[in-house]
Every structure is written in C-alpha cells, then in structure tokens.
Structure 1
C-alpha cells in the first residue's frame, strides 16, 4: 500500500505570493529609474554627465520592465498572475523609452 498524500488542486495563492516578490521588485526598480530619468535636468547642452545619467536611467528602467514582461510571459507564471501584475512595469518602461527617445542633446 502506498502512502500518498493528495495535493490540493489549486494552490495558486502561495505561488502567487512567491511570484509577486520578483514582479513587484522589478516594477519598483523600473519605477525608481524612470523617476530618476524624469527628474534629472541638464544644466545645458554641454552637460554630458546629466545626459549620460538620463540615458542610463532610461536603459535600466526599460530593462527592468523587459525582465518583468519576460518573467510574466512564462506559461506557469501567467497561470497564476494576471496581466495586471506586469502592466505597471510596462507602463513605466514605456515612459522611460519615450523620455529616452525625446532626449535632446
């Protein structure tokens, strides 16, 4: 006789909490770097350091948003986390991409 313990069919609550950690952390990272990109103001066209900081912040924000989207695209993540978990990071990454595209200098 086997001693098997039946597993619950729907244990999505625990898995959702585990997956929420990297999704939320990546969203916060994307948001922080987007905020940095939006608040840094160059003193003039000669301020290469400020322009480099904006580009780096935009790149890091877009990268964190892309990592969130990549994580969410995994089938076992999509099964327990709705698209609402990835939307804030994608919006923030989009804002950073627009800031980068409209950067003058």
Structure 2
C-alpha cells in the first residue's frame, strides 16, 4: 500500500539515501570483525593482542548495533527489506563469538 506522502517513484531514491549510512556502518562493522578474527596472540602473555581483539569486537558490535537501530526506525523499515539486517547480525554474532573465545 502506498501512502500519498511517499509516491512509488520516490522509494528508489529514499532507499539509496538510507542505504548509504546503513552500508557504511556495515562496512565498519565488517572491518573491525575481520581485525578481531585475524589477530592472533603470540602467547598467553600477549595482553596487547587480547586487548586489540576485545576492542575490535566491541567496535564491530557497536557499529552493527547502530546499523540495526537505524533499520528499526519505521521510515527505514518501510523502504529497506528485512534481509538488509542479515549480514550485520551475522557480523555481530561472529564478533561476539570471537570476544567470548578470546578471553
């Protein structure tokens, strides 16, 4: 159903405008998740590597959470289907799992 305030022709532009911050947050989350997954401590004494892993996980989960919060807004949900959230949630799950296994 199309409301009179959002003609069907405008949805393409609105989707593009809303996709930019969502995609940027997804890329940021993926970057930090990759950093967390590819960082390997040299031993149990390597506290700097463990700190870097935890920091990368926190930043990945934070960026993914911001993307999900952006998608939860009703105006965004109307033009962006639910599958947009899938990759971000997967990144957050991977970062959370890495965080748990790194300690």
What RMSD, in angstroms, separates the aligned Cα atoms of the two structures?
Answer: 1.4
User: Is the CA contact (8 Å cut-off) linking 1:23 and 1:86 kept in structure 2?
Assistant: no
- SS of the residue aligned with 1:45? coil
State the match for 2:40 in structure 1. 41
Larger-Rg structure: 1
- SS of the residue aligned with 1:86? helix
1:10-66 deviation line (CA, Å, top 9, x unaligned)? 211000000110111000001000000000000011101000000000000000110
Using the TM superposition, give the Cα deviation of residue 82 of structure 1 relative to its aligned residue in structure 2, in angstroms. 0.6
State the match for 1:3 in structure 2. none
Bigger shift: residues 57-66 or 79-88: 79-88
State the match for 1:78 in structure 2. 77
- The structure carrying a bigger helix percent of its residues is 2
| Aligned mates of 2:57, 2:83 — CA distance in 1 | 22
State the match for 1:58 in structure 2. 57
Using the TM superposition, give the Cα deviation of residue 7 of structure 1 relative to its aligned residue in structure 2, in angstroms. 6.9
State the match for 1:68 in structure 2. 67
C-alpha spacing 1:35/1:63, structure 2 compared with 1 (3 Å): same
- SS of the residue aligned with 1:102? helix
| Aligned mates of 2:7, 2:71 — CA distance in 1 | 22
Q: What is the TM-score when the length of structure 2 is the normalising length?
A: 0.91
Q: What is the TM-score when the length of structure 1 is the normalising length?
A: 0.89
| Contiguous gaps of at least 5 residues in structure 1 | 1-5
Using the TM superposition, give the Cα deviation of residue 8 of structure 1 relative to its aligned residue in structure 2, in angstroms. 6.3
Using the TM superposition, give the Cα deviation of residue 89 of structure 1 relative to its aligned residue in structure 2, in angstroms. 1.0
Using the TM superposition, give the Cα deviation of residue 94 of structure 1 relative to its aligned residue in structure 2, in angstroms. 0.8
